[in-house]
Amino acid sequence: MPRSILIVDDEEAIAWALRRAFEKAGYAVTVTATAEDALKKAAAEKPDAVFLDVRLPGMDGLTALGKIRAIAPAAAIVVMTAHGNLATAVKAVEGGAFDYLAKPFDLQQALDAAARATAATPNGPTAPPPPRVDDEILGKSAAMQVVFKRIALVAPTDAGVLITGESGTGKELVARAVHANSSRRDKPFLPVHVAALNPNLVESELFGHVRGSFTGADRNRDGLLTLATGGTVFLDEVADIPLPVQAKLLRVLERQEVMPVGGAVSQPVNVRIVSATHVDLSAAVAEGRFRHDLFFRLNVYPIHVPALRDRTDDIPLLAETFLHRFAATATLSSELKEVLVKRLWPGNVRELRNALEHAAINGRGGLIRPEHLPDPTTNVGPQPIREQMSRIVREWVAEKMAAAGKQEPNELYQALLDEVEPALVGEILRQLDGNRLAAGRWLGLARATVRKLIRKHGLAPDAEGDDAEG
Ligand SMILES: Nc1ncnc2c1ncn2[C@@H]1O[C@H](COP(=O)(O)OP(=O)(O)OP(=O)(O)O)[C@@H](O)[C@H]1O
């Protein structure tokens, strides 16, 4: 599948010439003449690169830049302008533009920029395209059936949905499914990656602003909530919304009207909010970092997307589907399926998908074996596991001490063991297919002790008294 480019330019001759050059070079091209339409197309098509003119009728390119980045964070944006000056270039760079082309430019410059822009997107220049936005949510496991049922129940209502789950579990897919199965399906679905927005501009991005409300606000602008009217706004990483913006968002939800920054008159809006978080939002509420009234409003109906390790039944299906997306003729060896089911996947479905993409390249369309996989992720995030564990333990201790207040916390040693035992024993049993004898050897514990721990933590309720020696 070709890499995709969205051209946003109201000068027909330029849009035409660029389209022709890009299509000849093998890109899939979409053209639009307005920024407003570009936002919709960026949300729907998730292009690899966007060639964005600055002077456009309606919303200008530099304003659109931030919004497109929030909607399609993976797209590299090339800003084009005939009226470029330092201020425009600085704004483009500050706004996160990938490149800047001063008009007139020749087509070769545009092609070079396209090659670099599409190479810079996470999939690389020769990789297959990211899955389409209306991708099916795959899953046969009992855990995913619960998710499907909850999506089906809540979709037709207008209730606020809070999707929780670790990174890469498919929260955005769930949000799209809620929208696609609602009566709003023909209206926009606007994903907003709050963490990617300029913190100073979150408010203006969401609610819009009126001319003169701050330096650079040279005309009235609609915010994302207004642009999504009739549809659904997906607030990803909702815990990152600054407190003052939370208060304003609550008012929008309660009154269904939005007050632009610097405005005196509110405008009616009609949006459904679906939000997602990979952190514990109720803990953020307890710590005063998130408003409890907004939390209840967003969390009318929670949907938890389980970690991949809690639905290992789905791994073979996901792996086969991903593999065929990347290499139609490739097949998975049964040995590889076993390895995939046993791996930990801290990056969840996203990591599995990337591993299959890697394996598909190494396996060259034939039988895919374990050696074709990338090395397992040994660290989650930038620190090695050991450092992360010691950091987590330290934070845990600090939290316990803070929670104890004036009272002295006690039995912390046992409390910590109680926290880690289920993960330790559970994971060893999982790796050893429930073999308690072997688990005892790995743990250096007597079999009776292993049995006691299993019972204590409810690790294998069905195996009461039965040593599945396998
Ligand atoms: N059940 C599934 N079936 C098919 N593809 C899936 C499934 N779950 C996740 N994916 C794919 O895995 C990748 C990550 O999913 P997604 O972006 O929805 O995760 P997320 O939970 O929103 O991640 P983050 O918290 O990092 O934003 C995407 O490519 C998505 O298409």
pLDDT above 70: residue 461:
no
Best residue for ligand 1 mutational test, from 132, 173, 324 (most atoms within 8 Å of Cβ): 173
Closest to 216 (Cα-Cα) out of 103, 102, 65, 97 = 65
Atom of ligand 1 nearest to the CA of 167: 25
pTM: 0.62
pLDDT above 60: residue 462:
no
Determine which residue's CA is closest to atom 30 belonging to ligand 1.
Answer: 170
CATH class of 142-304: alpha beta
pLDDT at 197: 74
d(CA 394, CA 390): 6
pLDDT tens digits along 334-382: 899 989 998 888 889 999 999 999 999 888 878 888 888 888 765 455 5
To the question of domain 411-463 being in CATH 1.10.10.60, the answer is yes
pLDDT at 356: 93
Give distance in angstroms: CA of 263 to centre of ligand 1.
38
pLDDT at 143: 86
pLDDT above 60: residue 121:
no
Residue showing tokens 């409300």: 213
pLDDT at 299: 94
pLDDT at 90: 63
Give distance in angstroms: CA of 332 to centre of ligand 1.
21
The CB of 75 under 6 Å from ligand 1? The reply is no
Fold designation for 4-120 = Rossmann fold (3.40.50)
The secondary structure element, H or E, covering residue 161 is strand 161-164
pLDDT tens digits along 16-53: 999 999 999 999 999 999 999 999 999 999 999 999 99
pLDDT tens digits along 205-262: 888 888 887 777 778 888 888 888 899 999 999 998 888 889 888 988 899 888 888 8
pLDDT at 466: 45
Best residue for ligand 1 mutational test, from 132, 136, 169 (most atoms within 8 Å of Cβ): 169
Q: Do 411-463 and 142-304 have the same topology in CATH?
A: no
pLDDT above 50: residue 133:
no
Residue 355: other Cβ atoms inside 10 A: 22
Closest to 470 (Cα-Cα) out of 441, 448, 437 = 437
To the question of domain 308-372 being in CATH 1.10.8.60, the answer is yes
pLDDT at 48: 94
The CB of 6 under 6 Å from ligand 1? The reply is no
- The pair of structure tokens assigned to 277 is 């978080």
The CB of 195 under 6 Å from ligand 1? The reply is no
**Residues recorded for the chain:** 470
pLDDT above 50: residue 306:
yes
3-state helix, strand, coil in the chain (%, to 5): 50, 15, 35
Give distance in angstroms: CA of 96 to centre of ligand 1.
24
* ipTM exceeding cut-off 0.85 for this assembly: yes
- Alpha-helical runs (H) found in 46-101: 61-71, 86-94
The CB of 167 under 6 Å from ligand 1? The reply is yes
Summarize the confidence of residues 454-463 as an average pLDDT.
Answer: 74
- The pair of structure tokens assigned to 301 is 């109906």
pLDDT above 90: residue 277:
yes
Give distance in angstroms: CA of 212 to centre of ligand 1.
40
Q: Where are the domains of the chain?
A: 4-120, 142-304, 308-372, 411-463
